Amino acid sequence: MRRLLLFILLTGLGVAEPPAQWDGLVNNPPATPAVADGLSLRLNEAYEAEVTRLGGPAWWLELVHRHCRENIRAAGAHPEAPPLSQSGRVFVAAYAAEQARLAKIQSRYPSEVRWASDEVVGWELPDRTVQFSFDDGPKSGITEPILATLRRFHVPATFFVLGRSLAIYSPDYTGFAVASHSYDHANLLSLNAAALEAEFTDTESQARRSGLKLLRLFRAPYGSRAQRELTAMKKHGLRSMLWNVDSQDWQAAMQARPGRIASRTLALLLLHRHGIVLMHDVQPQTPAELARLLPLLPQLGFKLTPP
Ligand SMILES: [Zn+2]
C-alpha cells in the first residue's frame, strides 16, 4: 500500500518511482551519525547512476516545498515528536540522493560524511538545537545586513572568512564567532604541502592585521579534506567544522524564487531536528532569506546556540 502511495505521489509530480533499493532508506531516515555516514557511503557507491537519472532541480524543489508544508503542520500538532509524513519519507530519499549527487560532482569527501571522529558536523548537537554559519565572506553590502538580522533576532553565528576577502573589507563582527575558511577558497586536496600551509598561515596573518581573533575552528572549502588536511589543521590547533544543513543559497535554482532557500533550510531542520546550517554571506539573496527564516525557528521550538 505504501509503495502504491509513493508511486501515486511521485507520478503526480511527473517523475518515476524511486528504485526498490530506496525502501530501506525511506523507512530509516538518517537520525544518528553512524546511520547517516553509512547511508551516505552506501548511496555514493550504489545509487549514483539512479540519482543522475532522476536528479533535477524542479523535482527536488517540489518535494522540499511539499515536505516543508506538511511537516510544519505536523510539528505544530505534535511539537515533541512530529511523525514523518509520506512526503517526508520521499523527502528523506530525495535528500540522500542529493547527497550522493553532490558527492559525485563536487568532492571525494562530501561534507556531511564525517571523515575523522573529532570533526564537528552538527549531528552532535542536542535535539532542537541549531547553529548558524556563514561562509566565503566578508562581502560589503551582504555581510552587514546579515549581522544586523542576526542581532535583531538575538541569534549567534560563526563566520568562516576568507583571508583574501578580509584584506579588502572587514566588518564589525562584535558578538559573533569568526573562524578561517582558508585564504582563497582553494580545494585543499589539490594543493602541494607549501600551498596548503599558506592557506592557514596567510589567513591568520590577515586576521591579525584586521584586528580579529579567530576561533580555533576551520571549515575546508567545499568540505573537501582528507587525512593530510586534517593533520595540518591539528598542527595549527584547528578543529574541522562542517555542516549538516546545506541551505544551497549559492544555487541559481534556489535563488530563482524568494523563499526557496528559507523553506529548504526549514525543511532540513524539521527533518534532522538539530544541526549546523550552512549559508554564504556573499550571495545577494541570503540576507532576505535569513530574515524570513529566523522568526520561524523559535516558534517551532528550536534553540539557536553559538559554536
Ligand atoms: Zn566556501
pLDDT of 99 above 50: yes
pLDDT band for position 114 (50/70/90)?
low
Ligand 1: centre distance to CA 161 (Å)? 9
pLDDT of 101 above 70: no
Ligand 1: centre distance to CA 185 (Å)? 6
pLDDT of 183 above 70: yes
Helices (H) and strands (E) in the chain, counts: 14, 8
pLDDT of 204 above 50: yes
Is 13 in a helix, a strand, or coil?
coil
pLDDT of 257 above 70: yes
Instruction: Calculate the CA 279 to chain-centre distance.
Output: 7
Q: What is residue 215's predicted lDDT score, i.e. its pLDDT?
A: 98
Ligand 1: centre distance to CA 265 (Å)? 17
Q: For residue 273, what is its C-alpha cell?
A: 531536528
pLDDT band for position 256 (50/70/90)?
confident
pLDDT band for position 40 (50/70/90)?
very low
> What are residue 260's DSSP bridge partners?
none
Minimal CA–CA distance to 232: which of 278, 191, 185?
191
Q: What is residue 158's predicted lDDT score, i.e. its pLDDT?
A: 98
- Tell me the average pLDDT across 124-133: 90
pLDDT of 20 above 70: no
Radius of gyration of the chain (CA): 19
Ligand 1: centre distance to CA 297 (Å)? 25
The per-residue pLDDT of the chain, averaged, comes to 73
Is 47 in a helix, a strand, or coil?
coil
pLDDT band for position 95 (50/70/90)?
low
- Residue-range domains of the chain with CATH: 2-106 (no CATH), 129-304 (3.20.20.370)
Ligand 1: centre distance to CA 174 (Å)? 22
Condensed to tens digits (0 to 9), the pLDDT of residues 69-81 reads 444 444 333 334 3
Condensed to tens digits (0 to 9), the pLDDT of residues 239-248 reads 999 998 888 8
Region of poorest pLDDT, from 7-16, 100-109, 160-169, 268-277: 7-16
Ligand 1: centre distance to CA 169 (Å)? 17
Q: Specify the higher pLDDT residue, 283 or 263.
A: 283
Ligand 1: centre distance to CA 137 (Å)? 9
**8-state DSSP, 19:** P
Euclidean distance between CA atoms 170 and 122, whole angstroms: 28
- The C-alpha cell 535535539 sits at 127
pLDDT of 121 above 90: no
Q: Name the percent of the chain lying above pLDDT 90.
A: 41
Euclidean distance between CA atoms 119 and 110, whole angstroms: 13
Condensed to tens digits (0 to 9), the pLDDT of residues 50-93 reads 333 434 444 444 444 454 444 444 433 333 434 555 555 555 55
Euclidean distance between CA atoms 226 and 247, whole angstroms: 24
**8-state DSSP, 172:** -
pLDDT of 30 above 70: no
Condensed to tens digits (0 to 9), the pLDDT of residues 153-172 reads 999 999 999 999 999 999 99
Ligand 1: centre distance to CA 219 (Å)? 8
Residues in the chain: 307
Cis status, amide bond into 19, omega within 30 of 0: no
Q: What is residue 106's predicted lDDT score, i.e. its pLDDT?
A: 45
**8-state DSSP, 120:** B
Find out whether 153 and 175 touch, Cβ atoms under 8 Å.
Answer: no
Q: Return the H-helix or E-strand segment holding 258.
A: none
Cα→Cα distances 32→120, 149, 296, 303, Å: 14, 31, 25, 19
Sign of CA dihedral 252, 253, 259, 263: negative
**8-state DSSP, 277:** E
Ligand 1: centre distance to CA 115 (Å)? 18
Ligand 1: centre distance to CA 246 (Å)? 12
Q: For residue 149, what is its C-alpha cell?
A: 538580522
Euclidean distance between CA atoms 101 and 99, whole angstroms: 5
Ligand 1: centre distance to CA 76 (Å)? 34
Ligand 1: centre distance to CA 222 (Å)? 6
